[in-house]
Every structure is written in structure tokens, then in C-alpha cells.
Structure 1
């Protein structure tokens, strides 16, 4: 008959179980706070090999071509983009470098007020350009399509819009801006995925 585990064995096993829980807890907490981080770009259409379909690559190439002129912040400003968003209460919000304590950062968001006003999505005219700090100044890293939701100030649409065949999502609900949004990291590699909200390689 096998021997019953001794008190030392049981104590060792209990310590191992507690250690495993301690390691897993921060990961579970991060998923709860930022559920979109966990899935990365798996919300985007993928083929049986986990790659984006050829059509998606062509669409992203078009977005790159449409936004290539904005590598210089001055060019973006000349076309109506400005740092942060002035909401319905005349408060400028999202004007700082946006980051996550666990998932990396986004960077600085330059909004186009005219594109934000229509509550519509045009793949080739993203409402937001995202710039990350670099030794040479701000560097264009991503674009972001943004539509105001019914809970935004001023309110927008009540049904999630879609872009590139994907439904947009609300990352920061009230009392935050409650925007429907989708990022595309077309100008910087993102280990978390092309359409992830945060980039672990970016910091503020």
C-alpha cells in the first residue's frame, strides 16, 4: 500500500499551491481590468493559420498610404488634428500620454474634431493619430478610429460601429469618455497584436 503523505509533504504541496496562486493573481487581475489586452488582435478576422486574410493586409496598406504624411506632427496639426479632445463641457480630455500599469502604453492622441463630429467611420480617415515619445520627439505609431457612444459627452450612437470588418469597443466607460474605438498599430510593431489597445513596447 502506498504510504500516506507525511506532514512535511502536505506542507510543501500547500506552499506550492499558494505560490502558483500568487503568480496567477496579477495576470487574472490584468485580464479583468483590460479584457481587450488578453485577446490582442484575435478579435480581428484570421485564417486557419492565425494570420490576417490577404484582404486585411491590403486594407491596412491603404491606411498606411493615407496617413504616411502625418509622421510629422506639424502636418497632422495643419490638417486639423490636435492634442486631446474638447468634449461637450469644453474640457480638453485625453491630452496626456496614455499608459497602463501592466500592458504598456498608447502614447499621445491627436484628435480631428471635424471627423469626430459626424459619428461615422471612414477607414482612410482615422479620427485619431497616436504618437509615442522617442529620443527624436513624437513618433507616429498607430491610428485610432473613434465614434462617440450614447454615453459620451456629447452623446453619439447607441450601436457599436465597425471598422475593417470588426466591431469597435468601449475601453473606458463613464465617467470616462465612453468612446467606441479600434486601434491599428500600422507604424510600430506591437507584440500584443495589431489591434490591441496598448503596446508593451511603448512607454510614456
Structure 2
């Protein structure tokens, strides 16, 4: 639970000004239900750059935090500018009715189950746009993700420094609907684990 304590500390040090959004999760769910079918997501422009399933353990965090799953990103919404050595972009997109990332959990039968959504804003793009306010969803500050050179973990999950917020719309999360990892999600059936 050390990771949770660090998240709480980071949130307490954030600036007071915020870009706050209060979003009804039932409305969000209705707008996103069509993406339960991954083929609909693919037809609408979502892709998975590497098909890796993100778990806390493989990110250098305590295994009991669980996993996220496989991220399907929308390159146009994120305004991706490159992927080598890390995914980078100019995106500052924050619309929750069509989030920039869909997250699926691999199932034993090879299918994918939509478990969560995410929006991601690249830190450099946010700063370049002159935005100084803190991103907040339903009272929770978005997470700031950047690799720590002192660890072997991939804390930013293959991306340049960014802010992101997860919403567990389709899988109950005992830690809360807006936390990054979910102990009720697993990468056990994934071909590629990260």
C-alpha cells in the first residue's frame, strides 16, 4: 500500500486551481457501452500499440494492487507524435463521453472484456498550452505519471510524462472507481504482460 500513500501525498501537494469535471458515471457508461465489443472500438479508431497487459507487479508496484489491463488508445484524440522510445503526443483532450483510452481485461477464452476507461494528457503539451490548473474528475486529482530513474519499473507505462485518470465503469474496484489499479482485474490470461 506504499504506492497509495505516495499517490495521496502527491495529491496533497498539487496546486489549488483545478480543471474540475463532475461526470455522471451512468451517463458515461451509456456513451461507452458500444465499446464492450472491441471490434466496434477498432472500427472507431482505437488501437493497442503493443497488446501488453499492465499489472501493478510488472510496473514495480505491490502485486496486491492488481492490474489495469490492455490499453486501447485513440491516436487522433491523443494527438500522438511518436512512439520511440516512448509514446508522446500533443493531446490535452479531456472529454469523458468518448475517452482517449479504453481498457480491456483478457479472458480465459481469448476474448477481451471492457473494464475501464481513461483519459490521458501529455504533461509537455499541457504546459505548452499554458495550462497551469490541476485536472480533477469527480473530486479526485488525476495521477501524474513519469518514470523514476531510480527504479526498474515502468511507472509511465511506455508513455512520456503525463496526467491520467482511470474510471472503472465495468469492474467494481474495492479501492475506488477512480483509482489507477484494480485488485479485481488480472493479466493472468494475457499473451503479453507488462
Which category of TM-score, normalised to the shorter sequence, fits these structures?
Answer: 0.5 to 0.7
> Can you list the C-alpha shifts for 1:131-152, whole angstroms capped at 9, x where unaligned?
01122411000000111111xx
Show the counterpart of 2:44. Answer: 79
CA apart distance, 1:120: 2.4
**Which of the numbers 65, 69, 78 marks the counterpart of 2:30?**
65
> Can you list the C-alpha shifts for 1:90-111, whole angstroms capped at 9, x where unaligned?
xx6xx41000122110000000
Q: Tell me whether 1:201 sits opposite 2:181 in the alignment.
A: no
**Which of the numbers 106, 111, 115 marks the counterpart of 2:68?**
106
Equivalent-residue separation in structure 2 for 1:126 and 1:66 (angstroms) = 10
8 A Cα contact 1:106 1:130, kept in partner? yes
Q: TM-score, normalised by structure 1?
A: 0.63
Q: Aligned residue pairs: how many?
A: 145
CA apart distance, 1:129: 0.2
User: Given the superposition, is the C-alpha separation of residues 82 and 192 from structure 1 closer, same or farther in structure 2, using an over 3 Å criterion?
Assistant: same
CA apart distance, 1:162: 3.3
Equivalent-residue separation in structure 1 for 2:3 and 2:66 (angstroms) = 12
Show the counterpart of 2:164. Answer: 181
* CA-based RMSD: 2.6
Equivalent-residue separation in structure 2 for 1:198 and 1:179 (angstroms) = 17
Show the counterpart of 2:145. Answer: 171
Name stretches of at least 5 consecutive residues in structure 2 with no aligned partner: 11-20, 80-90, 150-155, 188-194
User: Given the superposition, is the C-alpha separation of residues 109 and 122 from structure 1 closer, same or farther in structure 2, using an over 3 Å criterion?
Assistant: same
Equivalent-residue separation in structure 2 for 1:30 and 1:168 (angstroms) = 15
CA apart distance, 1:167: 3.0
SS at match of 2:24: helix
SS at match of 1:121: coil
**Which of the numbers 97, 100, 116 marks the counterpart of 2:78?**
116
User: Given the superposition, is the C-alpha separation of residues 98 and 113 from structure 1 closer, same or farther in structure 2, using an over 3 Å criterion?
Assistant: same
SS at match of 1:199: coil
Q: TM-score, normalised by structure 2?
A: 0.66
Equivalent-residue separation in structure 2 for 1:105 and 1:128 (angstroms) = 16
User: Given the superposition, is the C-alpha separation of residues 115 and 100 from structure 1 closer, same or farther in structure 2, using an over 3 Å criterion?
Assistant: same
Equivalent-residue separation in structure 2 for 1:107 and 1:38 (angstroms) = 25
Larger-gyration structure (1/2) = 1
CA apart distance, 1:123: 1.7
Show the counterpart of 1:21. Answer: none
